[in-house]
Amino acid sequence: MSTTKQFKTGDTTLTIQRPSYRAFRDIAGKVEALLEIEPAAAVAVPEFEEVLKATQADTEAFETWIETADYQEVVRLWDATIEHCEFVPFFEARRRQHSERSKAKMMDEIDLMAAQMEKAKSSGLLPSDFSISDAMTEAMRTGETQTMMPSSQTSTPAGTDGDGKTSKPKTSGSSSGTSRKRPGGGKRSSN
């Protein structure tokens, strides 16, 4: 498949190019985020135009064109760019791989936890009839009863309110919050 594609719009022809690794690295997050939001919101952010510009072989021709381009033509260029650069399949494949790795890791952790529980049962640390399901059900049931109990008093008792007077008079000496600081604020001198 060709790395460039001609895009005809009115009397202008733009050349869409697949970004190099470095160019893609710079726009990958922007592309992924733009693909996740509604098109009307996507075209309203500066990243939309940055992605289009990063995938143009002639950025000067693109900048001249986009100054007067019709909204529909810009959207048409976006669609052609996303399709030609194969951004959608790329991100879908990465998400699928990430999901599969996460699922495999979770299953490994569950297997490890089950093995640890069996070892604890066989060594006597846990009762032989212990069940995580029963323990979770019990925890949820006791959690509900604790929530339903009246809460403890949170206000200060009237006898501890104080008399409203300050405990110590203010001094007239220097305060670190009000005195001028030397430049370098607390750094040691070089002598």
pTM: 0.50
Q: Could you report the per-residue pLDDT of 79-121, keeping only the tens digit for each?
A: 999 998 888 878 787 778 888 888 889 988 888 888 888 888 8
Strand partners, 5: 16
What phi and psi, each to the nearest 5 degrees, are found at residue 18? -65, 135
Tell me what pLDDT residue 141 has: 86
Do 82 and 88 form a contact (C-beta atoms < 8 A)? yes
Q: Burial code of 6-33, b = ≥16 C-beta within 10 A, e = fewer?
A: ebebeeeebebbbbeeeebeebbebbee
Lowest mean pLDDT among 47-56, 77-86, 158-167: 158-167
Q: SS3 for 181? A: coil
What pLDDT, on the 0 to 100 scale, is given for residue 125? 85
Residue 98 CB contacts under 8 Å (≥ 6 apart), including other chains: none
